[in-house]
Amino acid sequence: MGRFEIKDNFYLDGKPFQVISGSIHYFRVVPEYWRDRLEKLKAMGCNTVETYIAWNVHEPKKGVFDFSGRFDLVRFVRTAQELGLYVILRPSPYICAEWEFGGLPAWLLAEDNMRLRARYEPFLQHVREYYDRLFSLITPLQITEGGPVILMQVENEYGYYGDDTCYMEAVRDMMRARGVTVPLITSDGPFEEALACGSLDGIHVTGNFGSRTKDRFAVIEPYAKGGPLMCAEFWVGWFDHWGNGGHMHGNPDSPQDLDDMLDMGHVNIYMFEGGTNFGFMNGSNYYDELTPDVTSYDYDALLTEAGDFTEKYDKFREVIRKYAPIPAVEFTTVIRKKAYGKLTAVSQTGLLQNLENLSRPITDIFPVCMEKCGQSYGYILYHSTLRHEQNIERIRLWGASDRANILVDSRRVANLYDTELDGEYDVLAGNVKKAQDMNVPDSDGEAVPQNEPITFAQGAPIDILMENMGRVNFGPMMERQRKGIAECVQINGHIHYNWTMYPLPLDNVENLDFDRGCTEGLPSFYKFELQVDEACDTFLELDGWGKGCVFLNGFNLGRYWEIGPQRRLYIPAPLLKIGKNEIIVFETEGRSTGVIALKGEPDIG
């Protein structure tokens, strides 16, 4: 049993202890590589590892818990302990982390009037029930119980979100009531208002920032109230979003900032290794527009997404050497990379031809949003029949997000994204008229037709494929994250009723029937086969493809999009098997080349 205390400094078993930590998110790294990443952390001179705990992966459906495989938090912590590392856990209901919905489970949004991160009893009750299960697993990991956990965090950057101190107190009390005995911290931006809103009496205050250490610590110091200064997230890089023009990089002066932190206090490096947003778990930000994050969470960290050393790693180790011994560490995991070459699709089938194989349909007069259909991630298709319309000149989706592929009579009508969904798609003009401009005539008094109205036989189908691009993970927009279509579809001048919803989380692509054919140019699945004699890390390139996601032996590798900056998807070797492997590409834009390539190095822009 041990003891960790916060006084004028951090103390471990009565002796001063300098926290030199790095962030690794267990849920962003395959478990076969946890030990490798932790060994490399220790070899740099760090004595502690920090991780968020993502509620949405551990309770994917209400009352259904998963702490296995990639989500085996206890195994990750015990692996760190075996290597002599201490652990900081951040079990807030909300984590941000550029993770889908900031770690909150999407099923919260199935409830009308749900309010988040405040003293709203239905939300708090869900947190209590989650904490009952979570803390039964993590309280035995505390240093006071013989484990490696020395600190836990109450909430996360709450000062950037709200000022409900009673809510913060409620979270703290839930943790204490469930057996937390190690010291608690808060972490907020190094600004007076953020610290004032996010701090809590009796809980040690830390800050999150990426530069100007001395100035930032000067702001935090009064809130630390004589206790140790700590940067709980030292941002050494940044994250990429689709279409941002290139891979983001961090502060070039970060080694000097690290030196200042260790001279004045304590640090947690964010990120030591970023890892990967496998599946549909990337988050998004929303300021003037939606900016969903790419699949890679490389973050320009000290280790790359694939765990390779960087120049930054070497520079940080030299700084740490001034403050702590650098241990000799044997790396026990053999990791190789390989270019497996080009593959050509062996078969193809359409989404529309496979709806019944992939989904259990739900019918309603109105379109129903994804969450109320019991779905959290992926796509949802809205199907109906056009019985009264003579043609289609205008379409508007009300309460829709994030991206719509509109198909009429098996023809693509439009792709609408984010702010385009707030307006009316004018088929004749081939563009979107924003809501505020709908009653404003063109300069010559009338629209100039560029296209013909869409005509069709009576009883023609209309299909609207909606994609959840990743829920917003920061700020008030989090409460407006219901996906799909939540209100109605307006065609020409009237609301169209009677819809069938096909939830498509795509967690069952093994049910695809590749004998059902397809319609060229419409959303389709392409199957590839890869023979493997030696399982190595590799990187999947989809040059010439449009947009979609990829599955390897049923595992969702994540999204791709031709707009970049990410150009290749990382495939860790443990996801491959010796012999035949199946790769399925879901292409929504109809821009398939039928060829993919497996390269030996990444290309994230």
Q: Which of 504, 547, 505, 517 is nearest to 355 (CA)?
A: 504
Q: What does the pLDDT average to over 462-491?
A: 97
What pLDDT does 439 receive?
46
Handedness of CA 309, 314, 315, 317 (dihedral sign): positive
Is 305 annotated as catalytic?
A: no
Read off the pLDDT of residues 526-563 as tens digits, 9 standing for 90 and up: 999 999 999 999 999 999 999 999 999 999 999 999 99
Tokens representing 416?
Answer: 């609408």
Contacts for 399 with CB less than 8 Å, ≥ 6 apart? 369, 482, 485, 486, 487, 488
Report the distance separating Cα 292 and Cα 100, nearest Å. Answer: 10
What pLDDT does 33 receive?
98
Residue 438: its H or E element: none
Pick the catalytic residue from 50, 59, 98, 233: 233
**Domains of the chain and CATH, by start:** 19-284+293-321 (3.20.20.80), 341-349+523-599 (2.60.120.260), 352-504 (2.60.120.260)
What pLDDT does 436 receive?
53
What pLDDT does 422 receive?
86
Q: What does the pLDDT average to over 492-508?
A: 97
Instruction: Provide the b/e sequence for 332-371 (b: ≥16 CB within 10 Å).
Output: eeebeebebeebebeebbbbbbbbeebbeebeeeebbbbb
Report the distance separating Cα 223 and Cα 189, nearest Å. Answer: 12
Read off the pLDDT of residues 384-413 as tens digits, 9 standing for 90 and up: 999 988 889 999 999 999 999 999 999 999
Is 157 annotated as catalytic?
A: yes
Q: What does the pLDDT average to over 357-362?
A: 98
Give the 3-state DSSP-derived string for 18-32, with helices as H, strands as E and coil as C. CCEEEEECHHHCCHH
Task: Indicate whether 317 pLDDT > 60.
Answer: yes
More confident residue, 505 or 493: 505
State the average pLDDT for the chain: 95
Q: What does the pLDDT average to over 24-35?
A: 98
What pLDDT does 444 receive?
38
What pLDDT does 461 receive?
96
What pLDDT does 450 receive?
54
Task: Indicate whether 483 pLDDT > 50.
Answer: yes
Report the distance separating Cα 336 and Cα 203, nearest Å. Answer: 45
Read off the pLDDT of residues 151-185 as tens digits, 9 standing for 90 and up: 999 999 999 999 999 999 999 999 999 999 999 99
Handedness of CA 475, 476, 477, 479 (dihedral sign): positive
Provide, rounded to the nearest whole percent, the portion of the chain with pLDDT above 90. Answer: 92
What pLDDT does 435 receive?
59
Residue 337: its H or E element: none
Report the distance separating Cα 251 and Cα 211, nearest Å. Answer: 7
Residue 602: its H or E element: none
Q: Where are the beta strands (DSSP E) in 505-578?
A: 524-532, 538-541, 547-552, 555-561, 568-571
Amino acid, res. 194: A
What pLDDT does 389 receive?
86
Read off the pLDDT of residues 46-89 as tens digits, 9 standing for 90 and up: 999 999 999 999 999 999 999 999 999 999 999 999 999 999 99
Report the distance separating Cα 581 and Cα 96, nearest Å. Answer: 34
What pLDDT does 433 receive?
81
What pLDDT does 441 receive?
37
List Cα–Cα distances, 316 to 22, 41, 320, 321, in angstroms: 11, 11, 6, 9
Read off the pLDDT of residues 420-464 as tens digits, 9 standing for 90 and up: 998 999 988 889 986 555 443 333 334 434 577 888 888 999 999
Report the distance separating Cα 516 and Cα 561, nearest Å. Answer: 26
Q: What does the pLDDT average to over 249-268?
A: 96
Q: Helix (H, G, I), strand (E, B), or coil: what is residue 98?
A: coil
Report the distance separating Cα 279 and Cα 558, nearest Å. Answer: 4
Pick the catalytic residue from 157, 424, 467, 541: 157
